[in-house]
Amino acid sequence: MLIGDHGMTQQGDHGGDELNEIETAMFLYTNNKTYFPSRRSKTIRTVSQIDLVPTLSWFLHTLIPFSNLGTMITDVLPFDQRFAAMKMNFQQIEFYFEEISSSLPLTDRLNELRAELRTIFISIDRQRNLNDVEKIFNEFKIEFQTHFRRQWSTFNLKRIFIGLFLMLISCLSMIYRRFRSLINVEFVVFSLAFVAISFSNSFIINEGQCLYYLLQTMILTRRIDVQRKFLLSFLLFFSRTFLICREEQQPFCVDPQWLLTKTSNSFDDFLRLISSIIWSMIFIHHCRKNDFISYFSFLSIIAHWFNWSNALPLFYLSLFCQIISIFFRPERLKMFVYSILLFVVGYRFSLVIFLEYLIYSIVFQSSPLFFAMLADYFFYATGHQPVISQIRWIAAFPTGNSTLNSFFSLIINSLILRGISVVFETFSSQIFVIISLRQNSTIENLLLIDFVKIFITSFSVFLFRRHLMLWKIFSPRFLFQLVSLIVKCVFVVLTMKIRK
């Protein structure tokens, strides 16, 4: 029995629901010349992939799995076995219906067909000929498979509306509280543009670039001095090289290879050197003279960048020491977070974090909407896309084959540490904005903007609930925004002590 699990697009991808991806084959061969019934028709029949399950069970001489929704492919069975096969399949489905009927109502037509098939199979109505039985069985198959496919893609509208309503009134209340400090014409115009991105899949696919244009416009229209304006503009311009493509942009967008491929040529060494020098300067500028732990942490990161095998355990040790020192001096949290970010992001993307650092130094006091857009933009400019398959899991597996004792490796290889690494790597921009902002009021407004953004995105995914790209484009982005908000909230709580 030769089958394909799925097909592929002309580009060789799969995962979606294009005809090329869902159309696959089943090829059967047996040495038994008399098993398959003789067929006159040359046309190739089409069946559901799950119909394989009861059919294979029949060949294997086993019971059909309990939750199966496939139906026997009677065409491949000998005539004298078909009735028994359909009966067994029907009984299995009946058992399943009984269990699931409380949470999933069935249609009237479906119940009619069930009753009819019950009289055929269970009351043993011998009057029907095989052809008729097969026809009714086939109609039953189409009816219930369609019904279940539809049911499992149906939303609970009542709960959606309650949710949207609660989110709306809380957002409106929060906006009313901060109205004077927040709302002006500029804010309204830019925030409308900002949330408009949620309403088009083309915008979402190119969200990195959309946010970039919005930010540049915002910079150029702000009332700040010309030097700062152009400096900001240039810094933002350089950050564009760190955007990476998503699947839907493919023919038109090319990934920057120097950023993604692991090479060990001289250019790579040059990057390592530059990152090390730049971040040394920043650490020296920020750390107090007696803050040995932070220096130690930073040095171990540099050693790791230059592939020194013992850097890894030293780095984790330094993190542990830093955590302890934060209890005594909370202001060291910032350097601690910088250490982790540099480590998980790597020497290449550390250059983007440097750009972020410069930008936040220049606009230390600005509209919260600007910071919100910066945080979102740098999600893309740190080489991410809101696509689950493009999460950089490699951050959880730092290379370094040194001689660790087993206790250490137990910690390093733990799922929690790996999960935290991936969260830090993916949401580095959100974390960075929270630790860079100084004033409580800005933070509050930033969170408020995030809440409003989530509400608008929720509304947009509800609006597009039957859109073809719902599960591929809109929903993953929604989930990423949710996690961004949670990460931001967690860091707001963590950094409460160090803020005025």
Partner 1 sequence: MNSLVVALHLIFFIGLAFFLNGFLLTRRVLLQHSNGTIPSTKSNDFHQIVFVVIDALRFDFIQPKNFTENENYLNQMPFVRHLIEEKSSQTILMRLIADPPTTTLQRLKALTTGTLPTFIDLSYNFIGYQIEEDNILTQVMNNKDRRTISLLGDDTWLALYPHIPFEHLHVYPSFDVHDLDTVDNGILEHLSTVMNKSDESSLIIAHFLGKTNDVSSLIISFFRCRSLWSSLRSKTRRNETKIESNGRTHSKFNVDFRIEKFFVSSDVDR
Site for partner 1 in 51-90 (CB under 8 A): 52-54, 56-70, 73, 75-76, 81, 84, 88
Binding status of residue 157 toward partner 1 by CB under 8 A = yes
| 164 touches partner 1 by CB under 8 A | yes
405-437: burial string, b at 16+ Cβ within 10 Å, e else: eeeeeeebeeeeebeebbbbbbbbbbbbbbbbb
Task: Give me the least distance between CB of 123 and partner 1, in Å please.
Answer: 17
Contact with partner 1 (CB under 8 A): which of 103, 127, 361, 365? 103
Residue 1 is a binding residue for partner 1 (CB under 8 A): yes
Q: In whole angstroms, give the CA distance from residue 159 to residue 157.
A: 5
- In the range 423-452, which residues lie near partner 1 by CB under 8 A? 444, 451
Q: Which of residues 104-133 bind partner 1 (CB under 8 A)?
A: 104
Using rule CB under 8 A, residue 359 touches partner 1: no
Closest CA to 451 of 133, 109, 245, 175: 175
Please name which of 76, 46, 34 lies closest in space to residue 59, comparing C-alpha atoms.
Answer: 76
DSSP state at residue 173: H
- Tell me how far, at minimum, the Cβ of 91 lies from partner 1, in Å: 8
Separation CA 284–CA 63 (nearest Å) = 70
Report if residue 281 touches partner 1, rule: CB under 8 A. no
Residues 72, 117, 174, 351: which binds partner 1 (CB under 8 A)?
174
Instruction: Let me know if 80 is exposed, middle or buried by CB neighbors in 10 A (0-12, 13-18, 19+).
Output: exposed
Q: Which of 465, 490, 498, 499 touches partner 1 by CB under 8 A?
A: 465
- Contacting residue, 96, 97, 295, 296, with partner 1 by CB under 8 A: 96
> What is the per-residue DSSP string for 235-255?
HHHHHGGG----GGGTTT---
For partner 1, the closer of residues 78 and 286 by Cβ is: 78
Please select the residue that binds partner 1; options are 191, 325, 428, 475, rule is CB under 8 A: 475
Token digits for 225? 């001095």
Report the half-sphere exposure of 117 (CA within 13 A, side-chain side).
26
103 vs 403 by CB, closer to partner 1: 103
Q: For partner 1, give the closer residue by CB, 45 or 228.
A: 45
Tell me how many residues contact partner 1 (CB under 8 A).
107
Each residue 3-22 as x (binds partner 1 by CB under 8 A) or -, in order, gives xxxxxx---x-xxxx--xxx
Contact 369, 417 (CB under 8 A): no
Q: Are 191 and 372 in contact (CB under 8 A)?
A: no
Q: Rule CB under 8 A: choose which of 135, 149, 286, 438 binds partner 1.
A: 149
Residue 31 engages partner 1 in binding (rule: CB under 8 A): yes
CA-CA distance, 484 to 479, in Å (whole number)?
9
Closest distance of CB 236 from partner 1, Å: 31
Euclidean distance between CA atoms 210 and 203, whole angstroms: 7
Among 243, 435, 461, 473, binds partner 1 (CB under 8 A): 461
395 makes contact with partner 1 (CB under 8 A): no
d(CA 492, CA 490): 5
- How far does Cα 400 stand from its chain's mean position? 28
The window from 152-160, 296-304, 308-316, 360-368 that contacts partner 1 (CB under 8 A) reads: 152-160
Q: State which residue, 114 or 465, has the beta carbon closest to partner 1.
A: 465
What amino acid is encoded at 370 in this protein? F
Binding residue for partner 1, selected from 148, 199, 203, 296, defined by CB under 8 A: 148
User: Do the beta carbons of residue 392 and residue 384 sit within 8 Å?
Assistant: yes
Of 106, 110, 136, 167, the one binding partner 1 (CB under 8 A) is 167
Q: Is 497 in the site for partner 1 (CB under 8 A)?
A: no
Per CB under 8 A, the list member of 79, 155, 230, 258 interacting with partner 1 is 155
* Segment 333 to 352, residues that bind partner 1, using CB under 8 A: none
Q: Note whether 416 binds partner 1 by CB under 8 A.
A: no
How far CA 313 is from CA of 309, 401, 460, in Å, comes to 9, 10, 46
